[in-house]
Amino acid sequence: MKALKSYGVAAVIILIVALWFVTGVVLKGGNGPHDSEFSLVSLLEKDGGPITDAVESSGFAVHSHQQEGVHDPALTIAERNELIAENGGSVRVVRVKSFHLEPMKLEVTLRGHTEAKASLAATVETSDIVKSVAVREGQTVQEGDLICTLEGGTRQASVNQAGAVVIQAEATLLKAQTDFDTNQALREKGLASDNSKAVFSANLRAAESGLEAAEVTLKNRVDELDNTEIRAGLAGVVQGPIVEVGTLLNFGGSCAKIIQLDPMVFVGAVPQLRISLVKLGVPAKIRTINGQNSEGVVTFVAVSSDPATRTFQIEIEFPNADGLIFDGLTAEALVDMGNVPAHLLPQSILTLDADGVLGAKAVEDEKVVFYPLDILADTRDGVWVSGLPLAVDLIVLGQEYVSKGQAVQARFAE
């Protein structure tokens, strides 16, 4: 019984092998996906024969399901698609998604540096030896704070003398006014001649002029004395070099330099293609190389370009109340220039046409259409592009396997 069972199993195996031998397919490498397939029967009968006829008539022969020539490696995708259509192949299915025109926030990044809005030297308006210095380097001062003082010399004495001259001139004016009033009263009573008026009037005018001159002299003497105290002309930070006590300063010399850090200014350059978009008052975000941030507005746009770079200088003023942003730091400014209409697309749907032009493929009237695109901005959310209609159905899956003008069946993606 066991022998009978073993013979039966062997017979079944032999039958299966025989069927595979006459109906199976073998592969020979190097001839492409279609030309590499050969039936085992063809190896025995290259030009056909009784075995081949028997296998064909049995209906068990295995045939390649590939259409003739479709997978020739030398063919392009477009040529394969045309061959599929000629051989009665089915229309390719692609996934599409609708995209609409949206407002894209147009922000331009400018590179430049920070700059103090004002830098003023504490200069002297007289000449003398430095008596004292009231500040140190890096100290914050307010407008009017004392920076240094000079020796007074005889300036105080000159002020006192000029003051005495003013008092004397006032007394002279008072006497001249009294004499003029007395003469006028006498003339009204007929006790003095009319010719006497000219003399008293001249004396009165001379006294008035004398007082004015004395007051001017006093003011000059006071100013000369005040000039020995050099004060800050603006609020800021004291910058060296600072003069030393005992130094002789002449007219125009400097005790120290004061840098105004609040507000600050960002100075950058705008490309000529963007200059028409920049307007005064446009908001901007400033970020320095050391990570400090601030926000400001455009306060100046040059009307002539740099001959070397063809860029236009721009200044953005921003607050710096804490003084953490210094003068001369490398910085970037993100300028908000409003919105422009564009389409936001995922990068995965971008493709190239036969000429290497970047674009996207859409389906219109059940045919593939190629739109060349210009990339406006690359963001985390996708790519902002221009060059598409107001609303368009773009291929999001299968765009690499279809060509312009090919008939396709579009199905909308979830």
Question: Is 70 exceeded by the pLDDT of residue 210?
Answer: yes
- Arithmetic mean of pLDDT, 40-64: 56
- Arithmetic mean of pLDDT, 302-326: 89
State the pLDDT at residue 68. 47
Architecture of 256-337 per CATH? Beta Barrel (2.40)
Q: Is the CA virtual torsion 5, 8, 12, 18 positive or negative?
A: positive
Does residue 149 contact residue 349 with C-beta atoms inside 8 Å?
no
CATH of domain 92-105+341-412: 2.40.420.20
Q: Note whether 92-105+341-412 and 153-227 share their fold.
A: no
State the pLDDT at residue 315. 93
- Arithmetic mean of pLDDT, 383-394: 92
Q: What is the pLDDT of residues 108-162, one digit of tens each?
A: 888 999 998 888 888 888 888 888 888 888 888 888 889 899 888 888 888 899 8
Q: What is the pLDDT of residues 216-257, one digit of tens each?
A: 999 999 888 888 888 888 888 888 788 888 888 888 888 888
Q: How far apart are CA 406 and CA 227, in angstroms?
A: 89
Residue 291 exposed, middle or buried by CB count within 10 Å (0-12, 13-18, 19+)? exposed
* Residue whose structure tokens are 């002539």: 304
State the pLDDT at residue 337. 77
To the nearest whole percent, how much of the chain has pLDDT over 90?
24
Q: How far apart are CA 132 and CA 139, in angstroms?
A: 16
- pTM of full prediction above 0.85: no
Ranges of each domain in the chain: 2-66, 92-105+341-412, 153-227, 256-337
Record: fold of 153-227: Helix Hairpins (1.10.287)
Residue 326, token pair as written in the block = 């210094």
Q: Which residues contact 332 (CB under 8 A, 6 or more apart)?
A: 109, 110, 111, 112, 286, 287
Q: What is the DSSP letter of 340?
A: E
Does residue 410 contact residue 397 with C-beta atoms inside 8 Å?
no
Q: How far apart are CA 134 and CA 142, in angstroms?
A: 13
Q: Which residue has the higher pLDDT, 155 or 52?
A: 155
Q: How confident is the model at residue 194 (pLDDT cuts 50, 70, 90)?
A: confident
Q: What is the pLDDT of residues 8-50, one digit of tens each?
A: 667 667 666 555 555 555 555 444 444 555 555 555 555 556 6
